Amino acid sequence: MHLSTLIHIFALLALAIVSPIVALPSNDATLVARSAPSLQARASTPSLIARSPVPSGALKKRALRQKPLTPEEAISQQLCPTPMRVCSIDAQSSPTTLTEWIRDGFECVDTFEDLTSCGGCGSVDTKYDCTAIKGAHAVSCVVGQCRIDSCTKGYTPSLDGKSCVWTY
């Protein structure tokens, strides 16, 4: 035998060892019972007749329960990229139409992460401005809520972590 023939035989043996074992079709009666039903049997069995997909009742109910968009949310979708929200620049201004928002000026903020507009528009109400918390040294906005990371000297973080408490 030549060396190339031996290499070829060893390669075939190695392939046979590592390749998966595949079952071949059988005429055994136990396997026939598992075969696909005949065309005639399919037509007479209603559960096997193809139907187009239809939303379940739960999906229909959920769609009906969705709350409608507020005018501000609708304007936000038109002026800002998702998930940002439109905020008026002027606290005295309260625009209601797209034209008024553009005329009066606006900013797009991420109210889930923005330090100066955490949970709402900080330009309209300072309660949404994490940097304005008295005694706070380091703050963060986590999912739309201000969190105190540390307080200035003389203050300690409150138990809920949303404010600094005077300790002297």
Q: Are 114 and 103 in contact (CB under 8 A)?
A: no
Which range among 17-21, 61-65, 105-109, 117-121 shows the weakest confidence by mean pLDDT?
17-21
In a domain, 122, yes or no: no
Beta bridge partners of 109: 85
In a domain, 53, yes or no: no
In a domain, 12, yes or no: no
pTM of the model: 0.57
Q: Which residues, at least 6 apart from 88, have a Cβ–Cβ distance to it below 8 Å?
A: 94, 95, 101, 104, 105, 106, 121, 123, 124
Cα separation, 148 vs 113, whole angstroms:
14
Q: Domain residues for 98?
A: 68-109
In a domain, 80, yes or no: yes
In a domain, 82, yes or no: yes
Instruction: DSSP letter for 149, please.
Output: E
In a domain, 155, yes or no: no
Q: Are 112 and 141 in contact (CB under 8 A)?
A: yes
If one counts the domains in the chain, the total is 1
Q: What length is written for the chain? A: 168
> What is the predicted pLDDT for the residue at 66?
72
In a domain, 97, yes or no: yes
Cα separation, 141 vs 112, whole angstroms:
7
- Both tokens of residue 100? 């008024």
Question: pLDDT (tens digit, 9 = 90+) per residue, 109-154?
Answer: 999 999 999 999 998 899 999 999 999 999 999 999 999 999 999 9
pLDDT mean across residues, the chain: 78
In a domain, 35, yes or no: no
Cα separation, 22 vs 2, whole angstroms:
32
Instruction: DSSP letter for 119, please.
Output: S
